[in-house]
Structure 1
Amino acid sequence: MWYRSEITKKLGVQYPIIQAGMAGGVTTPELVAAVSNSGALGTLGAGYMTPETMQQAIKQIKQLTDQPFAVNLFIPEIPNVDTEAINQANEWLRPYREALQLTKPEVKQPSSSNYEKQLEILLQEGVPICSFTFGVPDKETIQKLKQHHLLLIGTATTVQEAMINEVNGMDMVVMQGSEAGGHRGTFLGEFEDAMIGTMALVPQAVDQVSIPVIAAGGIMDGRGILAALTLGAQAVQMGTAFLTCLESGAKKQHKEAILHTTEEQPVITSAFSGKPARGIKNQFITEMAAYEKDLPSYPIQNALTKEIRREAANQNRPEWMHLWSGQGPRLSRQQAAGEMISKWILQIDERIK
């Protein structure tokens, strides 16, 4: 059968479909479990979670499914706190805070302590699979996780990044094309130099690395899945496609924006987090565009806008929210995750016949 591969065997799943570990509350335990119960691989996006919240979510997932699932973590980035840049950014953000009746947040020096505690929770809870974004774990961490029999999935946006994942000992790698929504996993060189489309990126990576390749970026239905497999990928990772499903924890305004936008509206912006990400163009992106090159680095800018984004959702101001989306929004649907997966499998079967 078309869906049997080295990856499905290693992951212990029926279908070569991975739900992306979208951080920020989208990947509820209900979504992760629904995907895994449907024969694909659900992923908890734990990048922004505290270790305690992450552990609680893992326990909930275990109650909802006995199938394999994954947890996605962010490799920590620790820039120096630039007080002058923060003060300037706060001045640019002041009109939004005033309109939403917010005060300036306290900015703390980023550290790796949260990430290190998250790794310990993975081992305590016996999580079977872990994926990483924004870099590759050091070899010592990889060795420790593998001693506890975790399967490790890396993320890359260039062939060279894929090769680094392989050399460091990752078991498989997600090749994330420029069509992808939200933050991409670029960690080597400039983001602009890694804007390679999925269709060009995947076969080149397949030819250069021996670990299994997972295709991501702009894949929204059975046609995209089959195309990726034809290019040599052994599985796909899908984010935006799951963001609008019933079990998703995305804000209502976010779902509605994706369901009612068109392919040219998702643009690249650093305004929300200090790191380039693809989201639906709105007032905040447009007004902050002039300042992007002078904003504090991620994750500091992300911390500065956190309450603005949250309160904008609470006050129904989608024009100031981060509305992450890939380039295929016209293909988005609002239905149960299991129904979507079944539909995609049927689409592939029909095309193969």
Structure 2
Amino acid sequence: MLCLQGTDAGGHRGTHLAEIEPNGSGWRDLLSEVLNTTDLPVVVAGGVMTAQDVKDALAAGAVAVQCGSAFLLTDESGMNDAYRAGFTASDLTETVVTRAFSGRPARAIRNEFVARFDPVAVPVYPIVNQLTKPLRAAGAATSDRELVSLWAGTGWRHAQSGPAADVVAALAAEVAERRLEGP
């Protein structure tokens, strides 16, 4: 089985070398290309936030989806107060792929830390990660959303609060409906 990560995914990108720039394609662009080169089942990740996204992925040939940001506001999430404040802030409006927190490319919501340090961040993981760790810890301890890594996929605004089981049910709603109706 292969897991295909599109550029819309939050958090660290699936690269083997920190200095490599990951591709800029979403799973929708990559899936047919991958399916044309392998018979292995493919799971898509990155930007899967709604039931329609799940339906689209399965219709395009994926056997399953992997969701991350969709679960960050759930009751079971371990999100700290600073992360939650940034994730839900109406004045933070975009995500970017940055090396500012760890030296590895990762998608995060642009906060003050990203705006200030991304332009000078170097691809030297884990050194950058170790250097920024005390700052991130201080941000978490003081609930300062401007100092923490706000990992999030591009569709983070679709995340719902409540039990994770409710999020799963909502994501699977169209799939379950289609199975009940038949092909």
Q: Structure 1-normalised TM-score?
A: 0.48
Contact 1:182 1:279 in 2 (8 A): yes
How far, CA to CA, are the matches of 2:128 and 2:5 in structure 1? Answer: 24
- 1:235 maps to 64
8 Å Cα contact 1:268-1:279 kept in structure 2 = yes
* 1:241 to partner: Cα distance: 0.6
Structure 1 residue aligned with 2:24: 195
Decide whether aligned partners of structure 1 residues 318 and 181 sit closer, same or farther in structure 2, where only a CA change above 3 A counts: same
Shift of 1:264: 5.2
Deviation at 1:296, TM superposition (A): 5.7
Post-superposition shift, 1:226?
1.0
2: CA distance, partners of 1:191 / 1:264: 26
Counterpart position of 2:42: 213
Kept after mapping to 1: 8 A contact 2:82/2:139: no
Cα distance in 2 for partners of 1:273, 1:193 equals 15
Q: Deviations over 1:102-130 (max 9, x none)?
A: xxxxxxxxxxxxxxxxxxxxxxxxxxxxx
The normalised TM-score by structure 2 is 0.89
Question: How far off its partner does 1:191 sit?
Answer: 3.9
Q: Which residue of 1 aligns with 2:76?
A: 247
- Please say if 1:348 is aligned against 2:175: yes
Q: Are the counterparts in 2 of residues 180 and 326 from structure 1 also a CA contact under 8 Å? A: yes
- Bigger Rg, structure 1 or 2: 1
Q: Judge conservation of contact 1:259–1:333 (CA < 8 Å) in 2.
A: no
How much has 1:290 moved relative to structure 2? 2.8
Corresponding position: 1:329 with 2:156 = yes
In the alignment, residue 48 of structure 2 is paired with which amino acid? I
Mapped contact 1:215–1:228 kept (Cα < 8 A): yes
- Consecutive unaligned residues in structure 2, runs of 5 or more: none
What's the CA shift for 1:351?
6.1
Cα 1:276–1:296, aligned 2, differ >3 Å: closer, same or farther?
closer
1:299 to 126, 129, 133: 126
The CA deviation at 1:335 is 1.0
> Are 1:263 and 1:327, in contact at CA under 8 Å, matched by a contact in 2?
no
Determine the C-alpha separation between the residues in 2 that align with 1:317 and 1:263: 14
Partner AA of 2:76 in structure 1? E
**What are the ranges of 5 or more consecutive residues in structure 1 without an aligned counterpart?**
1-171
Say whether the 8 Å CA contact 1:176–1:198 is kept in structure 2.
yes
**SS at the partner of 2:128?**
helix
Aligned pairs, number: 180
Q: Residue 174 of structure 1 aligns to a residue in which SS?
A: strand
Query: Which of structures 1 and 2 has the larger relative contact order (alpha carbons within 8 angstroms, sep 6+)?
Result: 2
3-state DSSP of counterpart to 1:194: coil
Separation of aligned partners in 2, 1:350 and 1:263: 35
Counterpart AA for 1:252: D
Q: The residue matched to 1:305 in structure 2 has which SS?
A: helix
Q: Deviations over 1:265-316 (max 9, x none)?
A: 1111101000111101111111113312xx3611111111112101111112
Between Structure 1 and Structure 2, the one with more helix by share is: 1
Which residue is equivalent to 2:116?
287
* 2:9 corresponds to: 180
Query: Is contact 1:183-1:277 (8 Å) kept?
Result: yes
- The amino acid of 2:133's aligned partner reads K
**Alignment RMSD:** 2.2
CA distance in 1, matches of 2:51, 2:172: 6
Separation in structure 1 between the aligned mates of residue 141 and residue 18 of structure 2, nearest angstrom: 37
User: Which whole-Å CA distance do the structure 2 matches of 1:267 and 1:313 have between them?
Assistant: 21
Question: Is 2:63 the partner of 1:225?
Answer: no
Deviations 1:210-264 (A, max 9, x none): 2211000000121111111111110111110112111011112313422345895
Could you list the per-position Cα deviations for residues 128-176 of structure 1 after superposition, in whole angstroms to 9, with x for gaps in the alignment? xxxxxxxxxxxxxxxxxxxxxxxxxxxxxxxxxxxxxxxxxxxx11100
User: Which of 312, 315, 321 is the matching residue for 2:139?
Assistant: 312
SS in 2 for 1:285: helix
The Cα of 1:184 is off from its aligned counterpart by: 1.1
Contact 1:264 1:327 in 2 (8 A): no
CA distance in structure 1 between the aligned counterparts of 2:20 and 2:7, rounded to whole angstroms: 10
Give the secondary structure class of the aligned counterpart of 2:21.
Answer: helix
Supply the AA of the counterpart residue of 2:134.
Answer: E
